[in-house]
Structure 1
Amino acid sequence: MVSISAVRSAISRLQEAPARVRAVRQEHEAQDVELRNNPQLSDTYRRQLRKELHEVTIATPDQVDMDLKRIQTTLTSPAPADTRPSVDQLLDEQRQAKAWGRAERLLGAGTSPLEVVKDAEQATDLATLRALRTELPTWIVATTHGGATHEERVSAATSAKRLVDLALARTLPEGIERAALRGRLQWETHAPMVGVEMEHARRLLEGKTADGLGVAISLRYMSADAQALDTLTV
């Protein structure tokens, strides 16, 4: 089973990865400019030094990629098994079934999913939040108005699941279950940011055109999304 300290370490490495890739790319650009503009170097020696610099730098994204695979394994591992006595698990299932019945009636009466989730979080109602996590996405897909496409229904269900996960991540008591959930949310949020930086760096290092403005805009939106996790430390 993954430990809380392992999750904490993986999150730290994940959050540092974009800056690490960006720093390597910027350092390469600075050193390459210095080599190209050094009048004391012969053309042959300059080409050799630039080639060596490129070979060393181009390996860094691959090293980061390998580390990301290890981070992903840690942060997306299955939730720890419930080792409580079966009677306690059965009672929890019954509580969640009743909680979903109440929530479904509220939803059917016009209460928005956001309100239902928010009320459960404010009441620290873990039974309702767990039930919503299981049932709400399916309910949304089944009840979204007929004009919506399948993709729109799935998108709405995915957004609802994330809403519930964030509420649970803020509400669960300290322990491995909370750490595992917070770790997975951090991966889902920050991994795409690392991917954008990696692709940008690879294109530049390979001498291809890279859309710097597009990268900046993408990262800005992703960073805004990541702010929802700022207080969810492990």
Structure 2
Amino acid sequence: MQDPSRPATGYPAPSYYHSNGGQAPPSATAYPYSAPPPYPQNQYYNPNSSRNYFTRSFVRSFFATLVCLFVIFGAIVFIVWLVLRPTLPDFRLESLSLTNLSANSQSVNGTWQVGFLVRNNNKKMSVTYQVIESSISYDALFLRVQLLPFKQETQTETPLNATFSAVNTPVEKKVVDAINGDKARGSIPFNVEVFASTVFRSGAWRLRARVLKVLCRRVPVRISSNSTSGTLSGGARECQVWT
């Protein structure tokens, strides 16, 4: 009779089965089941990455568009300037007369009449003088008048007149002495100026408004020491014009 404590021989060892009925392959470890397959790791998704890319792309496109528009606008302005060639008008002082001049104590009296000839040399652009004023000065004596606005067509000449009056206009004694001193020498110099807000036009094209400045420096008025009237000495003269 065989000893029950000894293992039985002649029978194969029992096999291990998976729950699905398949036989498990032999394992080098004591764990009776095979290791589960590794799971792939999910990549981290940043929702702001596409947004940042869109923002950078939009900014680059925006600035590129601005640069293109600026270049196109500059090219158009340059072409228009080449075609129209705007030039400043010419101002020539034609006449200057002085009547009823008196300078005594600390006041001055007198009437000045100034005549200009304004010429628009532009072949394709008219000039509109929207606001225009003129002044005459001698040292601290300064007189100013407002003139009527006008429009000047291409290649035309327009007379412009201004009248200044001083009635007991107070000045310092040194100004009175200077006027009487120049009068005794036979000539009194005056500075005549014009300031105008102008607009240049050519058909539908309108350039921006610009302030025109005109200066006729030290224009001499011939007058004798015992007279109260005088006229322009040396004939007409061109004035300096700039913006």
Instruction: Give TM-score scaled by structure 2 length.
Output: 0.26
Which protein has the bigger strand share? 2
Larger Rg: 1 or 2? 2
More helix by share: 1
Q: Which has the higher contact order (CA 8 A, sep 6+)?
A: 1
TM-score (norm 1): 0.26
